[in-house]
Structure 1
Amino acid sequence: MSADNAPGGLALVQELVNTLDVESGRDVLASPGDTAEFLERHCLPRLPAGEITELARLREALRAVLLVHAGHLPTTAVPARTGAGAANGSAADPTAELNRLLGAGPLLLRVGPGGAADLVPVDHLRGVSFVTARVAAAVAEGVREGSWRRLKACEATDCRWAYYDRSPAGRRRWCSMRVCGSRAKMRAYRARRRDG
């Protein structure tokens, strides 16, 4: 797991995806206290238990798209079912589930006194719809700034940690070359020796 933090609003997206540690199985969204702490840290409203399940679906749909950003084909992007709230989205199109979920969080273009414009959650939104709108606004900000495609999920099936790819070419595959990259290279080396 790397400490490559995403810029701006994408930090929320990255931290949401990383509420599930695939390697250890620790799921922040499975604990009401940890969930409340996560939401509070991001100035988000507390959610009833039923809405936390929807937030976990959003997390896994985001992870699937971040795997596509890392170079996985959409048919292989949806991770194995992990944690209490793992998504059961379409393996053929991970964006379909994400688009469905983001539809529950509409945005409004608001112009400030100085003329600057931002996408913000529609005023009447509450609960998970408000959280979803904040995530959608963060993604839109990332698209505008060209940073969205650099937010990725680790290729290692036992990791899938979200990281921000700061490499010059933007082609990193693992959250950490020292850990996940080394493990993958060692497995490939052993397979070649076994087959050779």
Structure 2
Amino acid sequence: MIQPGARTPAPEPLVLVQDLANTVDLELERDQLRSPADLASFAAEHGLRLTFNADDLAEVLEFREAVRDVCQAHAGVDVSAASGAVLERRLVRAPLWLTLGADGSAVVQPAADLSGLDALVARMAADIAGAVVDGTWRRLKACAADTCRWVYYDRSPAGRSRWCTMALCGSRNKMRQYRART
């Protein structure tokens, strides 16, 4: 969202997850989620009519960073215990239902009685569940640069990309390695 054009967006259903993680630009210190109203606008942009309070905002910011840590784990960095605890605490409050269609199809979706932050997290959890099934989840990664950590979708054939873009973070890293050698 803040770094347009770095890479093409993730496929559905991962767009919501990617967009939430990218509501902050660490390098420029700009955060799009500064108020409950900002969070409600973000949700509305993704087809979710939800209301939030100040506590929800604080929790979604914490959840956002934990999701970013999971995305960084897809590039080989372990998820911290603290981030794991945040995810477990939030996800347990956002239950999912499995519905079966007349044609035998199965869909994971948020429980119907959820609202606010629980509904947002459940929507993301259902989207992630779908991405796990279709194999796209592990390609949603966070840039290896500590000053960036932008979440991108790795479309490389081998799926081993580490940088949001080689033109910025990848080049900076290569230059640092070069200078360290010389």
* Superposition TM-score, scaled by structure 1 size: 0.84
Q: Which amino acid aligns with 1:128?
A: L
Q: Which amino acid aligns with 2:22?
A: N
Measure, in 1, the Cα distance between the counterparts of 2:151 and 2:79.
Answer: 17
Q: Which amino acid aligns with 1:164?
A: Y
* Superposition TM-score, scaled by structure 2 size: 0.90
Whether the aligned pair in 2 keeps the contact of 1:142 and 1:148 (CA below 8 Å) is: yes
* Number of the residue aligned with 1:23: 27
Q: Which amino acid aligns with 1:16?
A: L
Deviation at 1:176, TM superposition (A): 0.1
Q: Which runs of 5+ in 1 are unaligned?
A: 76-88
Matches within 5 A, 1:9-158: 9-44=13-48, 45-74=50-79, 90=82, 94-158=83-147
Q: Which amino acid aligns with 2:61?
A: A
Measure, in 1, the Cα distance between the counterparts of 2:51 and 2:27.
Answer: 27
What CA deviation, in whole Å up to 9, does each residue of 1:109-147 have, x standing for no partner? 112344322111111111100111001001101100000
Whether the aligned pair in 1 keeps the contact of 2:35 and 2:54 (CA below 8 Å) is: no
What CA deviation, in whole Å up to 9, does each residue of 1:75-112 have, x standing for no partner? 5xxxxxxxxxxxxx62xxx4332222211110001123
Are 2:8 and 1:4 equivalent residues in the alignment? yes
Are 2:182 and 1:177 equivalent residues in the alignment? no
Q: Which amino acid aligns with 2:89?
A: R
Measure, in 2, the Cα distance between the counterparts of 1:61 and 1:4.
Answer: 23
Measure, in 2, the Cα distance between the counterparts of 1:119 and 1:15.
Answer: 21
Deviation at 1:32, TM superposition (A): 4.3
Q: Which amino acid aligns with 1:36?
A: A
Q: Which runs of 5+ in 2 are unaligned?
A: none
Measure, in 1, the Cα distance between the counterparts of 2:158 and 2:66.
Answer: 26
Q: Secondary structure at the match of 1:29?
A: coil
Measure, in 1, the Cα distance between the counterparts of 2:31 and 2:147.
Answer: 14
User: How much is the aligned-residue C-alpha RMSD, in angstroms?
Assistant: 1.6
- Range moving further from structure 2, 25-34 or 143-152: 25-34
Whether the aligned pair in 2 keeps the contact of 1:4 and 1:165 (CA below 8 Å) is: no
Q: Specify which structure has the bigger relative contact order, considering alpha-carbon pairs within 8 angstroms and separated by 6 or more residues.
A: 1
Measure, in 2, the Cα distance between the counterparts of 1:98 and 1:4.
Answer: 26
Q: How many percent identity over aligned positions?
A: 49
What CA deviation, in whole Å up to 9, does each residue of 1:21-80 have, x standing for no partner? 1111111111444333211111221212221111111111100111111112345xxxxx
* Number of the residue aligned with 1:192: 181
